[in-house]
Every structure is written in structure tokens, then in C-alpha cells.
């Protein structure tokens, strides 16, 4: 009898958050009394389907030890890399001996603390039997412009088939590891996991989520994230 595939999570958290303009990396900023990464990790820690979470951290990280889940038994620490793709690959290596190649891995940005449980459920349920995997996203609703390199509009882009790519992105461990390795062999520093899978000629599925699954990149994103967490009932005023 075949053993059902297990589910694991990966959080690349080695970024320094240059666009935030502060000293503290964005994943460690205070958000409603907890760090951003505590909110993010909490959803995966509480999910009984997730066997463990590999967190990729920078070599000089001075903040992780003070976070809520630093010593949690479901958390596996991995070394962060120069780019996101390196961190994800290192986190996959940290799962060696724990996870199988056909297990599912959900890669999620540490700075996306507002992921809804319902969206996580939809992603897992929609893709559990899929041959490739996929990711959360939402269709583009704004008019899209392409810039000409000099700050002017070159043309308007048809938005009909455009999506915003979010996380988690969910793929089989062995497939994702191979995809990332092949991308890095030619120095293609893919900015998301789906891009690596696409390089293999495969087509990940798009699963529609909610627009409040924002990535904190600028200071003004923090109060917005606080509002979204309040709306979800995950924090109180």
C-alpha cells in the first residue's frame, strides 16, 4: 500500500527588507504585539496537516531566537542564501531524511502574515491530486501599463489573462528541488518557485485566493496588515 504524501512548509526568511528603510528586517517588525513572522508561522504550526516547517534564516540573524516559535518542535532551521531561490533550496535540503521526494512542500513568504486559513485549505484541497502543483494568486483587476525605460508609458498591457502571483506555492519536494537546481546551474535567479517549475515546461495551476494576502515590503503595509488581521479575527483592537 502506498503511503499518502505528507505536507511540509518552507519559509524563506533571510531577507533584510531594504525597501522598509529600517534596521530591523521586516519579518521581525512588530505587528499587533507579535513579530510578522510569528503571525506567518502560526498558521502553519497550528495546521495538523503540516508535518514541519523549514525556516531559512540569515547567518547573522540576531532576532530569530526571541520569536514565539524559535524552539517549536515542528520548526526546522535552515541556512539562508544570497537570494530567495537559494534559501528555498537550502530549506529543502534541511528536510532530507524527514520528507520524501513525493511529499508536498508549500513555500510561503515570511512577510505574508495575512494568509487566510480558508485559502490555505483551498490550495491544499485543489492541488493534492494534481500532477504538477500550483500557487495562490488573484486575477489582475487594474489597468496595466508597460514603461518605456524613461518613465513614460510604452503601451497598455491586456490584463485579461494576467494574475498576481502569491504564496503559498505548492509543489512536490523532488520536483521543486530539481527545478531550482537546474535554474541555478544557468544562474537564473528565479523570484518564485512557480518560475522554476515553468522552466521545466510544466504549467502550475492558479488557485484564486484573497487580495488581503499581502507581502509586507514598505512601512505603510504594516497598518494595512494589522487591519486585515483584525478583519479575520486573528488580532483584536
How large a percentage of the chain has pLDDT more than 90? 91
pLDDT single digits (tens) 166-208: 999 999 999 999 999 999 999 999 999 999 999 999 999 999 9
pTM: 0.94
Q: Residue 17 and residue 110: Cα distance in Å, rounded?
A: 11
pLDDT single digits (tens) 27-60: 999 999 999 999 999 999 999 999 999 999 999 8
pLDDT single digits (tens) 126-177: 999 999 999 999 999 999 999 999 999 999 999 999 999 999 999 999 999 9
Domain ranges of the chain: 7-232
Q: Which CATH class is domain 7-232?
A: alpha beta
Amino acid at each position: 500500500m502506498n503511503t499518502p504524501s505528507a505536507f511540509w512548509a518552507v519559509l524563506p526568511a533571510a531577507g533584510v527588507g531594504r525597501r522598509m528603510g529600517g534596521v530591523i528586517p521586516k519579518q521581525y517588525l512588530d505587528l499587533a504585539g507579535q513579530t510578522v513572522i510569528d503571525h506567518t508561522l502560526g498558521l502553519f504550526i497550528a495546521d495538523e496537516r503540516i508535518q514541519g516547517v523549514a525556516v531559512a534564516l540569515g547567518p547573522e540573524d540576531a532576532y530569530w531566537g526571541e520569536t514565539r516559535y524559535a524552539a517549536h518542535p515542528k520548526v526546522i532551521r535552515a541556512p539562508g542564501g544570497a537570494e530567495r531561490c537559494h534559501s528555498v533550496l537550502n530549506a529543502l535540503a534541511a528536510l532530507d531524511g524527514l520528507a520524501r521526494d513525493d511529499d508536498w512542500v508549500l513555500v510561503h513568504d515570511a512577510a505574508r502574515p495575512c494568509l487566510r486559513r480558508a485559502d490555505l485549505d483551498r490550495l491544499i484541497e485543489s492541488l493534492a491530486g494534481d500532477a504538477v502543483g500550483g500557487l495562490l494568486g488573484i486575477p489582475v483587476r487594474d489597468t496595466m501599463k508597460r514603461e518605456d525605460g524613461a518613465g513614460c508609458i510604452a503601451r497598455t498591457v491586456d490584463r485579461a489573462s494576467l494574475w498576481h502571483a502569491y504564496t503559498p506555492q505548492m509543489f512536490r519536494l523532488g520536483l521543486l528541488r530539481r527545478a531550482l537546481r537546474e535554474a541555478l546551474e544557468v544562474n537564473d535567479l528565479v523570484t518564485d518557485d512557480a518560475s522554476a517549475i515553468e522552466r521545466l515546461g510544466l504549467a502550475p495551476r492558479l488557485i484564486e485566493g484573497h487580495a488581503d494576502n499581502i507581502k509586507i515590503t514598505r512601512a505603510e503595509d504594516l497598518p494595512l496588515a494589522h487591519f486585515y488581521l483584525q478583519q479575520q479575527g486573528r488580532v483584536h483592537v
